[in-house]
């Protein structure tokens, strides 16, 4: 069976940064990229707040840069999905694509987070047929059309603003009477003429047989239902950590975020570290993910050299 000293799971800023640091420490890390190499930045447009890119950079381009840098340092980057892990004894055993087995002295989990869905039947049925969780990816298909978006955080505001430049009208549904988004993003939305904001509004059902033709909303005060004709429906209600395969082995909070010891990347199992969005529900930025990937690699390096001396 193949054995490595550092196995990194995930290919966002956290995973690649861990790979850069572990490679430079001569730990010969192997990184499995997962289902979406590059992670959430792959479905992000312009990134203006990552230090060092003074003119801004495209999310996918930035992740290519990260990957190139990790490869240049000697990291072994592989396409593959880790499907099962056994952290009960060291070396840890991980299954890749349900067929390849790999043993690792340390594991760095950087599996990130994924978009949340409302959980209604029509949303699932019409996914890819007008329902999307990424305006930057799919907005183009609704050029000159009416669309709807649900959510009231920074993502929803950013996506509504993006869609307003392509679509005739953007109907934005907000479940409370206030938005969670930062002031500046809220103002941008409220000042955009073709974004129509609906307060205290829940999505009752997305309408359409083979593709989206409308949405039925419900006012949470009056319980009155209204139907609006739209061709696209965007969900922007936050994210959930990709931690399912670690359930029962690692300590997590009630929403599935992996718990790490404050000031470190250490999980409850010695030798297993977590970095990036899978353990961070507060900051969730590319730069903080990269920083915690660095911490995880340094923690792994220290752990390996201490185990050698014992």
Which residue's Cβ has the minimum distance to ligand NDP? 153
Could you tell me which of 298, 247, 300 has the C-alpha nearest to residue 90?
Answer: 300
Phi and psi of 153, rounded to 5°? -95, -170
Rule CB under 6 A: say whether 176 interacts with ligand NDP. yes
Least Å from the CB of residue 161 to ligand NDP: 10
If one asks whether residue 175 binds ligand NDP (CB under 6 A), the answer comes out as yes
Q: Please state the closest distance from residue 89 (CB atom) to ligand NDP, in A.
A: 37
Q: Which residues are catalytic?
A: 134, 137-138
80 touches ligand NDP by CB under 6 A = no
Which tokens belong to 231?
A: 């061709």
| Residue placing its CB nearer to ligand NDP in the complex, 66 or 162 | 162
For residues 254 and 234, give the distance between their C-alpha atoms in angstroms, rounded to a whole number. 26
Interface with ligand NDP (CB under 6 A), residue from 50, 65, 73, 118: 118
Tally Cβ neighbours within 10 Å of residue 250.
Answer: 21
Q: Is the Cβ of residue 183 or residue 310 nearer to ligand NDP in the bound state?
A: 183
Q: Sketch the per residue contact string, 230 through 259, with ligand NDP: x for CB under 6 A, - otherwise.
A: -------xxx--------------------
Neighbour tally for 230: CB within 10 Å? 25
Rule CB under 6 A: say whether 286 interacts with ligand NDP: no
Which residue's CB is nearer to ligand NDP, number 76 or number 205? 205
Task: Give the three-class secondary structure for 6.
Answer: strand
Alpha carbon distance 301, 121 (integer Å): 47
Which DSSP string corresponds to 98-158? TTEEEEEEEEEE---EEE-----HHHHHTBTTTEES-HHHHGGGGTTSEEEEE--SHHHHH
Binders in 133-162 for ligand NDP, by CB under 6 A: 150-156, 158
Identify which of residues 30 and 134 has a Cβ nearer to ligand NDP in the complex. 134
Tell the smallest beta-carbon distance from residue 148 to ligand NDP (Å): 12
260 burial class (0-12, 13-18, 19+ CB within 10 angstroms)? buried
Decide: 37 and 64 in contact? Cβ < 8 Å.
Answer: no
Task: In angstroms, give the least distance from the CB of 249 to ligand NDP.
Answer: 27
> Between residues 18 and 185, which has the closer beta carbon with respect to ligand NDP?
185
User: What is the Cα–Cα distance from 11 to 108, expressed in whole angstroms?
Assistant: 11
Please state the closest distance from residue 155 (CB atom) to ligand NDP, in A. 3
Q: How many residues bind ligand NDP (CB under 6 A)?
A: 16
- Tell me the closest approach of the beta carbon of residue 157 to ligand NDP, in angstroms: 8
Give the residue with the Cβ less far from ligand NDP, 111 or 201.
Answer: 201
Query: Is residue 188 a contact residue for ligand NDP (CB under 6 A)?
Result: no
Q: Dihedral of CA 80/241/13/273: which sign? A: negative
Inter-residue contact 281 to 2 (CB < 8 Å):
no
Which residues are near ligand NDP by CB under 6 A? 118, 150-156, 158, 175-176, 180, 237-239, 284
């Amino acid at each position: 069976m193949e054995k490595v000293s550092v196995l990194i799971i995930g290919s966002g800023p956290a995973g690649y940064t861990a790979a850069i640091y572990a490679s430079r420490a001569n730990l010969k890390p192997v990184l499995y990229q997962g289902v979406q190499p590059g992670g959430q930045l792959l479905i992000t447009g312009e990134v203006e707040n990552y230090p060092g890119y003074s003119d801004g950079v495209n999310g996918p381009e930035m992740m290519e840069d990260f990957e190139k840098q990790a490869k240049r340092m000697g990291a072994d980057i592989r396409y593959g999905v880790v499907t099962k892990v056994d952290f009960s004894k060291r070396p840890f055993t991980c299954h890749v694509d349900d067929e390849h087995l790999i043993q690792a002295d340390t594991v760095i989990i950087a599996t990130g987070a994924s978009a949340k869905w409302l959980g209604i039947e029509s949303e699932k049925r019409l996914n890819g047929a007008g329902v999307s969780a990424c305006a930057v990816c799919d907005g183009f298909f609704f050029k000159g059309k009416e669309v709807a978006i649900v959510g009231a955080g920074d993502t929803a505001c950013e996506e509504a603003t993006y869609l307003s430049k392509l679509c005739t009208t953007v109907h934005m549904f907000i479940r409370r009477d206030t938005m969670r988004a930062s002031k500046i993003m809220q103002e941008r939305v409220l000042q955009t003429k073709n974004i129509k904001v609906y307060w205290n509004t829940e999505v009752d059902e997305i309408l359409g047989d083979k593709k989206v033709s409308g949405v039925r909303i419900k006012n949470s005060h009056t319980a009155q239902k209204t139907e609006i004709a739209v061709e696209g429906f965007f969900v922007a209600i936050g994210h959930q950590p990709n931690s399912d395969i670690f359930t029962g082995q690692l300590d997590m909070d009630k929403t599935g975020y992996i718990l790490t010891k404050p000031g470190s990347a250490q999980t409850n199992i010695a030798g297993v570290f977590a970095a990036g969005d899978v353990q961070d529900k507060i900051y969730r930025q590319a730069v903080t993910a990269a920083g915690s990937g660095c911490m995880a690699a340094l923690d792994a390096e220290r752990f390996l050299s201490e185990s050698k001396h014992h």
